[in-house]
Each structure stands twice: as C-alpha cells, then as structure tokens.
Amino acid sequence: GCYCRRDIGAKAMKRFQKDAKKPLVGILMGSDSDLPVMKAAADFFKEMGISYEMTVASAHRTPEKAMNYARSAQERGLKIIIAGAGMAAHLAGVISSHTDLPVIGIPLDASPLQGMDALLATVQMPPGIPVATMAIGKAGAKNGAVLAARILALENPEIASRLVAFRENMVQEVEEKAKRVEE
C-alpha cells in the first residue's frame, strides 16, 4: 500500500512538473532570419516566467508545417500564438485560419518596403479570421508578448501580479531617465 501511494505521488509530481514546463505560448516565425527580432518576445516571456516554445514555419515555403502547427496547437496546451513574418506576411493569418486560439501577428521589416508590406498583409484580415496585429519590428514583438501575458493574466493571478510589477518597473525607469534630463 505504502509503495503504491508513493508511486501515485511520484506520478502526480511528474505530471505537475511536466505541466509547469509545458509551453503556454507559441512563438512562430517565417524564417530563422526573423529570430533577432522575434527574440524580443521570448525575452519578455523569460522575464515573466511564462513558458513558451519557438518554431520556424512559413506560410509559403513550409505550408504543411504551418498548418499542422496551428491545428495541433490547442490540444498541445498552447493558449496563444504569436506569429512574426516579413514580406507578404501571411503566416499569422494562415495560422488563425486553422485554430480558434487568439493569434497575435508581428509584421517584420525584411524587404525594401521596410515592413509596410508585412503590416498590410498581417492586419488586413477578412472578417471572421482575426489577427491582433502589433507594430512593425522589435516593438511589435515585445508588445505581442505583453499582450499575450495580459490575456493569460485574465485567468492567472501570478502572471497578473508580475505584469503589475513590470509596469511599476517601467515607470521607475522612465522617471530615472527623466531626472537625468531634467536636473
């Protein structure tokens, strides 16, 4: 009996540990060349202690991988997907078309049109298939992560309180920089 109970305890503990590591957010990007910008999202999740995974999949070059990723996302436990792409940036839209999870799109500057192409392709979704589109580039990648954290915070008080601390920190940093200008 004793062994058995201990066994169940160990199993439950393993499941708990596995769940804790299970990614809540999927960060997708169209190419490995997007990583230096999309890393801003990962950095924020690290700071917040939010589990995430990073994947390269392209709506155009590896369409099946992108589709399978979106179709399996919910059952794999993801709550939100952040998709960044440049040029004719259809990745976030295609992902949204294959899942009911919230999809956040990051238009990236990867062509002579400096991200305007990606912005319009990401933001102009037909009614029924939404993509929450952020700013072009690094600011957008970071804000995508902050928005994802806010959505998770609706049901996770721990993340909610980390977001409060994040904002307080930001206010302090801005005040300190302002002082240097003002004195």
Which residues contact ligand RP5 by CB under 6 A? 30-31, 33-34, 58, 85-87, 108, 110
Smallest gap from residue 37 Cβ to ligand RP5 (A)? 9
Residue whose CB is less far from ligand RP5, 32 or 182: 32
Compute the distance between CA of residue 103 and CA of residue 147 in angstroms, rounded to an integer.
11
Closer residue to ligand RP5 (CB): 24 or 93: 93
- Report in angstroms how near the CB of residue 110 gets to ligand RP5 at its nearest: 3
Structure tokens at 50: 């939010």
Structure letter (DSSP) for residue 79 = -
Nearer to ligand RP5, 31 or 96 (CB): 31
User: Which of 43, 128, 148, 136 is CA-nearest to residue 84?
Assistant: 136
Least Å from the CB of residue 106 to ligand RP5: 10
SS3 146: helix
Q: Which residue has the tokens 């062994």?
A: 3
Ligand-binding site membership of 51 (annotated): no
Q: Is 31 annotated as a binding residue?
A: yes
Least separation, in Å, of the C-beta of 124 and ligand RP5? 17
Scanning the structure block, which residue is given the tokens 């992902």? 95
Give me 172's structure tokens.
């302090």
Q: How far apart are CA 36 and CA 20, in angstroms?
A: 27
Which residue lies nearer to ligand RP5 by CB, 99 or 122? 122
Q: Annotated binding site for substrate, which residues?
A: 31, 34, 61
